[in-house]
Amino acid sequence: MKTAMIFGTRPEAIKMAPLYKKMKEKGIEAKIIATAQHREMLDQVLELFEIKPDYDLNIMKKGQTLSELTSRLVTKIDEILKKEKFDNILVHGDTTSTFLGSLAAFYNKIPVGHVEAGLRTNDIYNPYPEEMNRRLTGTIAQYHFAPTQKAKENLLKENIDEKNITITGNTVIDALLWVKQNKQKDIEKIKEKYNIKDKKYILITMHRRENWGEPIESVMKAIKKYINENKEMHIVFPVHLNPVVRETVNKILGKEEKAILIDPVEYLEFIALMDASHYIMTDSGGIQEEAPSLGKPTLVLRKTTERPEAIKAGTAKLIGTEEKEVYQAMKEMETEQYEKMSKASNPFGDGTASEKIIQFLKNK
């Protein structure tokens, strides 16, 4: 079996790294085509997992639009797929690299396996463009690796043949466990580095396109009000490199002493920052999946979710982006709700997703 994995952003790299390492361990011929839709944020992950892509398309341009990115991607991926003969292509999740990787594979009649298949909000603009990217990828893909039963049910509703779906859990748990086992973390040093020794803090991330502008502004205002009223609470916010996001965050929180704004940190440090936080507020998908493994409640800064499992399990709460509601949700974290959420268990897998994906592919 000769496999290629196509990915390009930070979260895809985190979630594909353990699968790639497991394939190599088993002697399977696997190659990585990194689109580098992200540059610095992708490189941080590749370095940590000690992965060197076989191809690096170096596609990122500062402030890239979706259409520019799309046209550059399909041509460049196509060139490689014509040069090498792969038995299958694996893509992950819902980014533009995911969709264009599958489309280029389809044009070359190579079967596609979709990792983290079947997540749906059923609202094509929430998250945007990810809901459409994963639907289109799901239509092209022949093998569907669903992280949960719920994701499988979503695929069945779309008439995907059950024999091509397998429930694997999410590879992000494999990644988290790999880092814990293979990399030493010195949390005290990390705390010193980010000036958070003895500080109680909420860890924040927010970057999604549907939240650009007013939603991010409202959330930042709620946070500002809360930390000004609550003497001991700080925030630590590794701000995504997207210039649109950085501008809004800096405008509102840039001068707040208790708001520690930093650049995106490497995955190992981010795990340590999650671990030492009081709780997490985020619009990220991956973080919602990881946080419960560390016993950290998550307030989700979005209107819809494709991860209802987290809400049902009680590890996360969907709080939207309205200033009043976000502030209110932060107040509620001062009640017994906090303990309850901290103790809820992770519905996203047990660290064996990569193994299950490989078994399925071997039987095809």
Residues with a known catalytic role: 94, 116, 130, 207, 209, 240
Q: Which tokens is 279 given?
A: 């709780």
- Which residues between 169 and 198 bind ligand UDP (CB under 6 A)? 172
What is the per-residue binding string for ligand UD1 in 105-134, x denoting contact by CB under 6 A? ------------------------xx----
Q: Pick from 4, 6, 7, 10: which binds ligand UDP (CB under 6 A)?
A: 10
Of the pair 140, 280, the CB lying nearest ligand UDP is at: 280
In this structure, are residues 16 and 92 in contact, taking their beta carbons and an 8 Å threshold?
A: yes
Rounded to whole angstroms, how far apart are CA atoms 281 and 189? 24
Which of 227/286 has CB closer to ligand UD1?
286
Question: Which structure tokens are listed for 260?
Answer: 């520690």
CA distances to 14, 341, 350 from 176, rounded to whole Å, are 9, 20, 10
- Contact pick of 284, 298, 305, 315 for ligand UDP (by CB under 6 A): 284
Tokens of 120: 């749906």
Question: Kind of pairing, strands 279-282 and 200-205?
Answer: parallel
Options 64, 70, 164, 352; binder of ligand UD1; rule CB under 6 A:
64
E strand segments, the chain: 2-7, 29-34, 55-56, 88-92, 112-115, 143-146, 165-167, 200-205, 233-238, 259-262, 279-282, 298-300, 316-318
Query: For ligand UDP, which is the closer residue by CB, 110 or 136?
Result: 136
To ligand UD1, the closest distance from the beta carbon of 225 in angstroms equals: 26
- Separation between Cα atoms, residue 177 and residue 42, nearest integer Å: 20
Give the residue, chosen from 3, 4, 6, 11, that forms a contact with ligand UD1 under the rule CB under 6 A: 11
Residue 205 in contact with ligand UDP, rule: CB under 6 A: yes
Q: What distance in Å separates the CA atoms of residue 30 and residue 16, rounded to the nearest whole number?
A: 12
CA-nearest of 37, 9, 38, 7 to 105 is 7
Minimum distance from CB of 1 to ligand UD1 (Å)? Answer: 28
- The site partner of 267 among ligand UD1, ligand UDP, none (C-beta below 5 to 8 Å per kind) is ligand UDP
Size of the site for ligand UD1 (CB under 6 A): 23
| 243 is an interface residue for ligand UD1 by CB under 6 A | yes
CB 239 within 8 A of CB 245: yes
Output phi, psi for 18, to 5 deg: -65, -30
Query: Could you tell which of ligand UD1, ligand UDP, none binds residue 169, using a CB distance below 5 to 8 A set by kind?
Result: none
Spell out the residues 6+ positions from residue 319 whose beta carbon is closer than 8 angstroms to its own: 299, 300, 301, 325, 326, 329
Q: Which CB, 14 or 32, lies closer to ligand UDP? A: 14
Q: Taking CB under 6 A as the rule, does residue 207 contact ligand UD1?
A: yes
- Residue 37 binding: pick among ligand UDP, ligand UD1, none (C-beta 5-8 Å cut-off by kind): ligand UD1
Query: Three-state SS for 332?
Result: helix
- Secondary structure of 253-318 in the HEC alphabet? HCCCCCEEEECCCCHHHHHHHHHCCCEEEECCHHHHHHHHHHCCCEEECCCCCCCHHHHHHCCEEE
Among 63, 181, 184, 335, binds ligand UD1 (CB under 6 A): 63
Residues within window 27-46 making contact with ligand UD1, judged by CB under 6 A: 37-41
Under rule CB under 6 A, residue 285 binds ligand UDP:
yes
Nearest to 309 by CA among 132, 144, 119, 133: 119
The reply to whether 287 sits near ligand UDP by the rule CB under 6 A is yes
Binding span for ligand UDP by CB under 6 A among 8-16, 22-30, 223-231, 323-331? 8-16
Only one of the segments 114-122, 280-288, 305-313, 328-336 lies at the binding site for ligand UDP (rule: CB under 6 A); that segment is 280-288
Q: What is the arrangement of strands in the sheet containing 112-115, beginning at the earlier edge strand?
A: 55-56, 29-34, 2-7, 88-92, 112-115, 143-146, 165-167
User: What residue ranges bind ligand UDP (CB under 6 A)?
Assistant: 10-11, 14, 172, 205, 207, 238, 264-265, 267, 270, 284-287, 290
User: What residue ranges bind ligand UD1 (CB under 6 A)?
Assistant: 9-11, 37-41, 60, 62-64, 66, 69, 94-96, 129-130, 207, 241-243
